[in-house]
């Protein structure tokens, strides 16, 4: 019986995490998620952190920054990227981005664009030679 | 003296589908994705917390590396689930199991207690199987 209760508990926490994964770009109220999962806010935060090593709030911030990295790589502007991941204030977006990645969004985008251009121009520089030779890939 | 492993390969039957599986379902990060020729690309992914280990999603395709017979044999063996490709670890197996199942990942073995912790086995979209373990600290 204890095992079933544990599985039920896990399903609720995982579904809360998947909810954040799906709606990270919206204005998510973590109190609502805790309510929906039938937990007190304190209990929810404690369980979530024990599984994912981050509080739900910090998990949401990290997820938004990861998604922002993808959007910046795709060439979206810094301003648009912040909005697309649910961070409306450009200043707070840039601040969070730098705090987590160690570089500003524009600096990150510039270095990723340089890498992408180089990858397209000189693909074999990114492939160990043994594999390229085996495939018959040449410059 | 050998010091580290930087690249390892998983043979896959379709790189688009493998991309979806490893990136969107398992949550791996794309490291390098370069088109190489008409039908193939050099595609490597990394586990989220191990960015220095590139897993090459290696397409089984007829060409300089594999002849037609080899492609047929390997395709058949991979589809049959012959190859175990790696052991992945996670902090919490039960949570990871529930999440991956909800994303449609097929498990050959549910989380089971072992002497070193817990282990489950899952299949990728091609048919390679992997151990997913939570190791006792």
Tell me what pLDDT residue B36 has: 82
Write down the pLDDT at residue B114. 95
Count of other CB atoms within 10 angstroms of residue A85: 25
User: What's residue A43's pLDDT?
Assistant: 87
- Domain locations in chain B as residue ranges: 7-135
- Phi then psi for residue B103, to 5 deg, are -95, 5
- The rounded percent of chain A whose pLDDT value lies above 90 is 62
Pick the residue from chain B with its C-alpha nearest to A48.
B95
For residue B41, the 8-state DSSP code is E
pLDDT for residue A68 is more than 90: yes
Please list every residue in chain B whose beta carbon sits closer than 8 Å to the beta carbon of residue A10: 94-95, 98
The answer to whether B95 contacts chain A (CB < 8 Å) is yes
Walk me through the domains of chain A, giving residue ranges and CATH numbers.
Answer: 2-103 (1.10.10.60)
According to the CATH classification, is domain B7-135 in 3.10.180.10?
Answer: yes
- φ/ψ of A15, rounded to 5, equals -70, -30
- Would the pLDDT of A75 be above 70? yes
Q: Is the pLDDT of residue A122 over 60?
A: yes
Q: What are phi and psi of A27, to 5 degrees?
A: -80, 95
Beta bridge partners of B86: B130
Q: How far apart are CA B51 and CA A69, in angstroms?
A: 15
Give the ipTM: 0.85
Residue B94 contacts A where some CB pair is shorter than 8 Å: yes
Distance of alpha carbon A82 from alpha carbon A84, whole angstroms: 5
Report pLDDT for A133: 83
Write the pLDDT tens digit of every residue in A25-53. 998 888 778 877 777 888 889 999 999 99
Structure tokens that stand for A32 in this block = 């609502």
Contact A56, A48 (CB under 8 A): yes
Is the confidence at residue A1, as pLDDT, over 60? no
* Contacts A16 to B, Cβ<8 Å: none
Mean pLDDT by 10 residues, chain B (137 residues): 95 96 96 84 95 95 89 97 94 95 96 95 97 93
Dihedral of alpha carbons A12, A13, A19, A22, sign: negative
pLDDT by residue (tens digit) across B23-35? 999 999 999 999 8
In order of B3, B13, B23, B42, B45, the CA distances from B17 in angstroms are: 33, 8, 10, 14, 13
């Amino acid at each position: 019986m204890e095992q079933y209760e544990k599985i039920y508990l896990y399903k609720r926490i995982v579904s809360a995490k998947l909810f954040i994964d799906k709606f990270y770009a919206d204005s998510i109220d973590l109190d609502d998620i805790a309510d929906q999962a039938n937990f007190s806010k304190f209990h929810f935060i404690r369980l979530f952190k024990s599984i994912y090593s981050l509080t739900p709030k910090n998990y949401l911030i990290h997820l938004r920054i990861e998604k922002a990295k993808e959007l910046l790589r795709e060439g979206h502007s810094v301003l648009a990227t912040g909005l697309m991941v649910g961070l409306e204030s450009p200043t707070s977006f840039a601040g969070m981005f730098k705090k987590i990645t160690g570089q500003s969004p524009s600096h990150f985008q510039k270095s990723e664009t340089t890498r992408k251009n180089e990858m397209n121009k000189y693909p074999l520089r990114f492939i160990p030679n043994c594999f390229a030779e085996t495939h018959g890939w040449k410059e | 003296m050998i010091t580290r492993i930087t690249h390892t390969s998983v043979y896959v039957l379709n790189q688009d589908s493998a991309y979806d599986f490893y990136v969107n379902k398992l949550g791996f990060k794309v490291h390098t994705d370069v088109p190489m020729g008409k039908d193939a690309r050099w595609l490597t992914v990394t586990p989220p917390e191990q960015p220095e280990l590139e897993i090459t999603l290696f397409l089984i395709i007829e060409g300089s590396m594999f002849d037609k017979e080899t492609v047929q044999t390997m395709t058949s063996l991979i589809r049959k689930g012959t190859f175990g490709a790696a052991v992945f670890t996670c902090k919490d197996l039960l949570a990871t199991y529930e999440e991956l199942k909800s994303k449609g990942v097929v498990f050959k073995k549910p989380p089971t207690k072992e002497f070193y912790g817990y282990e489950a086995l899952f299949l990728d979209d091609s048919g390679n199987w992997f151990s997913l373990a939570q190791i006792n600290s």
